[in-house]
Amino acid sequence: MSKLTELGAWLEGRLPALLAENHVPGASVAVYAGGEIIDHAAGVLNKATDVEADVDSLFQIGSITKVWTTTLAMQLVDEGKLDLDQPVRRYLPEFVLADEDAAARITVRQLMCHTSGFEGDIFTDTGRGADCVEKYVATLHDVPQLFPPGEMFSYNNAAFCVLGRVVEVLRDKDYNQCLSDHLFVPLGLTHAAQSPYEAIRFRAALGHLTPKPGADPEPAGIWALTPSNAPAGSMLAMRPRDLVTFAGMHLRDGEGPDGTRVLSAESARAMRDRLVELPDLGLMGDAWGLGWSLFDWPGGAVVGHDGGTIGQSAFLRVAPEHGVAVALLTNGGEPITVYAEVVGHILRELTGIELALPPVPDPAAPRIDASRYVGEYSSSVADIVVSQDDEGRVWVERVPKGIFAELSGPEKTELVAMNGDTLILAEPMQGMYVPHAFVGDDGAGHALYLHTGRADRRVSA
């Protein structure tokens, strides 16, 4: 019996129970190894209808879309139409931010590796037309700059919308058409959809949200985020088999499943180059390349990306030295434990690589002097207050804003010491003990940013 056959049998026996243990309504998994693919699905796509998940069901891949958008841009590099180290304004003269100097200097490369420095969680809805990405970029004129371009990493959805617009301009077609013409068709993808209008042709998963801790997840009221954020990951849905087909192209350094050259080998390898280091942020990875997150795990290097939309979570991990890719797509509950067991088991069996588990708090963590961290931090997503009480306990209170205020209310959670200037939640938030890294200096001995993947800037003295 081959390793892949053994893994298929393991998934069939283990996945249904694992989903039930973690209140995940449904999930689908695909594994690519040596040119072969196996897949398996379990659970339901929608608890309101009890439609069962199968291997041809579509789940949203969320921000994994960013790797697709980067690939579209790198195809343009191959054609000599795009230079990553040129300012974005060479291709988008209309690109304007609140900081004129920064807007003029930000390069295409900085968009791809989250170092452009402007605030990135902007989810303005500019309609459903083919021009929605163009209209979205025009709304960024008052978005503030958090730090000078290239100075540090801060995850940026808006930057990938700008990158998607660069692709549109250079291709003279809308983003969805670029995806179809330059990736779906050459890869031979049959179950991929750029919007609800295409997803409805298939068995499509609905996200589920947990109304309060300990409660069962319930069907979400809407299927997707705004079309204007499509290049960042608001709309794209597919079955895991099609996702690992895309990953397989990258493993073959740009060669499609039928031998078609989809991307140059040079560009495929360049996307995996280590370009920027990250604070200790758990699932975010250790460093970032062009589109890819990079993980330094025991046994070997892994690249990947995660995705989260409204009640759906997606995970893609790729081991380039072993020619292996694993995709796990889920639609609610607590998927992190499912990810750790499924992806961890598959990588261990096929590559010997040990998945680095997300960090957890130390029950014996000492009390610390948090005066460097205490204060108010803010972004367009949330206002955050870090405080320390008379007993020496450190607290973080997060008040969501904008679209996120509609999905969850204020949360106050204790932080405990983890590693240097990184603290960690004492209780999980959405199934994760999120690390909180305090970086920079405001000139008075206080941290300038609270970094949880996004660098939220201090707004208090």
- Integer Cα distance of 263 and 78 in angstroms: 7
Domain count for the chain:
3
Give domain status of residue 178, yes or no.
no
Q: Does residue 61 lie within any of the structural domains?
A: no
Give me the pLDDT at residue 1, please: 54
User: Which CATH number covers residue 379?
Assistant: 2.40.128.50
364 occurs within a structural domain: no
Residues 343 and 291 in one domain: yes
* One domain for residues 346 and 410: no
345 belongs to a structural domain: yes
299 shares its domain with 392 = no
Identify the pLDDT of residue 347.
98
Domain membership flag for residue 62: no
Whether 260 and 393 map to the same domain: the answer is no
Is 321 within the bounds of a domain?
A: yes
Residue 241 within any structural domain of the chain: yes
Does residue 260 sit in the same domain as residue 118? no
Q: Are residues 250 and 105 in the same domain?
A: no
The mean pLDDT values, 10 residues at a time, for the chain of 461 residues are 89 97 97 96 97 98 98 98 98 97 98 96 92 97 95 96 98 97 97 93 96 88 92 96 98 96 98 94 89 96 96 97 98 95 97 92 94 94 93 94 74 93 88 90 93 92 71
Residues 391, 317: one domain? no
pLDDT of 141: 96
180 found inside a domain: no
| CA triple 449-308-237, angle to 5 deg | 145
Task: Choose one of 145, 171, 197: the last residue of a domain.
Answer: 171
Active-site residue, selected from the candidate residues 28, 57, 63, 234: 63
- Give the length of the chain: 461
Domain shared by 294 and 380, yes or no: no
Q: Has 63 been annotated as catalytic?
A: yes
Q: Do 398 and 343 fall within a single domain?
A: no
Residues 204 and 291 occupy one common structural domain: yes
Q: Are residues 300 and 193 in the same domain?
A: yes
Same domain, 97 and 7: no
pLDDT for 211 equals 86
Residue 411: which domain range? 375-458
CATH code for the domain of 256: 3.40.710.10
Residue 183 region, left (φ>0) first, then alpha (ψ -120 to 50), else beta? alpha
User: In this predicted structure, what is the pLDDT of residue 407?
Assistant: 66
